[in-house]
A and B are shown apart, each in its own frame.
Chain A
Amino acid sequence: MSDDVWILGITMTKFGKRPDEDTIDLAAEAVHAALADGGVTMADMGILAAGNLMGGAGGIGQALQKQVGQTGIPVYNVANACATGATALRTAIMAIKAGECDYGLAVGVEKLSGVGLLAGGSRAADRDEWTPHGRYGAVAGVDGRIGTETMPGVFAQVGMEYGHKYGGTSFELFARISEKNHSHSTLNPLAAYSKKMSLDEIMNDIMIAYPNTRPMCSANCDGAAAAVVVSDAKLKTLSLEQQRRAVKVSASVLTTDPWQEACQILPDVNTLTRNAAKQAYEAAGIGPEDLDLVELHDCFATAELVHYDNLMLCEEGGAVDLFESGATWRDGSMPVNVSGGLESKGHPISATGIANIWEVCHHLRGEAGPRQIENAKVGLAHVIGLGSACGVHILERAA
């Protein structure tokens, strides 16, 4: 017996426009499927961790229990920007590691179709008197007057900063990363968008924030994902089939950004990701060269590039070369975002941090169909939420 924690059941719903289902419907669909996938019921669960950012007030976890089973277990409603799903999963894992229960359930759900730009909201109309407000003593709205608060604009600068530091980037290079992910998505029936896009189509689509055009931005959509985790001791009492399909959580890491010069000017998405990756590789006793596939947080094409480096998939400064080598395509040596990534699979925020783990598990179990990475043994899933929070999980298939 060890203190390993295993994923016993996991699922993601179809991502996309789901106008006929509300947040609870989607969460319940994911939970029912994850429980069935694991061969367990709500009666087995010792903890529920639930994430949802856009659903308004009230605990999503308790609202969900009222539809899938009120068993009286502790519920943790978590929120950690785009790392919310990963945080929910990690909460369940920690409960098992702490010895509080044998089974945990984590779910993330979002209704985002038609929300439009993920911005800092709209800028209010200027008041008719200039009086200072807030921590900057601003007499009027600053978004658009002192830089940008939009996500596409922030992550565009993140990619451009990398280009300034190491060279080799261009509008076309970033667009080609997006071309890869849209190409991958054609094999994923659960993706919100699964249409192949040519480089021309991507570069000539609507510009959102240079160098990110619309297809280079994560797609707002509806969706949910859920996972059942189990202790090593309990897993050993389950059927051989359950043990065979179980996926080992070799590392579960959550970090925030340590202070760096400029991190309060432009969010530093690099340091905390690198820190999380280092901790995860160390905990798992696995190096980046051992990975068979990676699902990383390509909220924008510009972000994917910097995370090649942050996750140490290449030498420092070598992200452009890694991409140019073809390694990150599905048939390359380091496949990245074979699901289609957030740019095409979609990004229902709180679901993302579990859905990317589902993608990795799907391959580790050999169940990924036409997009299967042959003989995948180990994979990494990464998410980052601005603010910031970074989740990295390393997963290994059962021996």
Chain B
Amino acid sequence: MSSRVPLVDYLALEPEPHLVAHECVSCGARYFDRRNGCANCFGTEFHDVDVATTGEVRAFTIVAYAAPGIETPFVAAVVDCEGTSVRANLINVTPDPEHVSLGMKVRLATNSVGTDAAGTEAIGFGFEPISN
């Protein structure tokens, strides 16, 4: 029997993979990490909201040289998901400047990070080009 876990807790795998942000109840600022309070308005109440699974590449780099243990090259990007910025890799795309462009339309996709000793598979995410 195999089970799956998300790479990070803000990746929800069901019903369809999507990201979940902690949204400040008073000002609407969105965060992906565990919060002590809001950096914008200092509020301490948050609720979870689903983030759009499609977006536009606002910035990217093709990392050719990274810390030990990280496979290169890969495309790191900031994706604007209908007003919520998300940090992610661009996946299912050739990592070169001819295939990646600013303003490119992308959608959330998942990939396998690997399987641990107990047979549990970790699921990661990235964004892939929306082909015409």
- Chain A residues near B (Cβ < 8 Å): 117, 119-130, 132, 135-150, 152-153, 156-158, 160-161, 163-164, 171, 206-212, 259, 261-262, 264-266
Contacts and interface: CB of A to CB of B under 8 A. Distances in A.
Contact of B67 (A120, A127, A138, A163): A120
A153 B57 CA distance: 15
Interface in B68-125: 68-72, 74, 76-78, 83-89, 97, 102-103, 113-114, 116-118, 120, 122, 124-125
Interface residues of B, number: 53
A147 B70 CA distance: 11
B66 interface: yes
Contacts of A123: 67-70
Nearest to B74: A144
B116 A129 contact: yes
A147 B118 contact: no
A268 to B, nearest CB: 10
Interface string B7-40: 1111000000000000000000111111000011
A152 B62 contact: no
B122 A209 contact: no
Contacts of A120: 67
Contacts of B63: 144, 148, 150, 152-153, 209-210
Contacts of A171: 97
A206 B73 CA distance: 13
7 contacts: A117-B66, A122-B68, A132-B9, A136-B9, A144-B71, A163-B102, A266-B78
Contacts of A143: 66-67, 70
Contacts of A261: 29-30, 83-85
Contact of A147 (B30, B76, B102): B76
B69 A266 contact: no
Given A149-B67, A157-B60, 15 more contacts: A117-B67, A123-B70, A136-B8, A136-B9, A137-B8, A142-B7, A144-B89, A145-B124, A147-B78, A147-B88, A148-B61, A153-B61, A153-B63, A161-B78, A265-B86
A160 B63 CA distance: 13
A138 B113 CA distance: 12
Contacts of A117: 65-67
A152 B124 CA distance: 24
10 interchain residue pairs of minimum CB distance: A137-B9, A144-B70, A156-B61, A262-B85, A161-B59, A210-B62, A148-B76, A135-B33, A157-B59, A147-B87
Contact of B66 (A150, A212, A259): A150
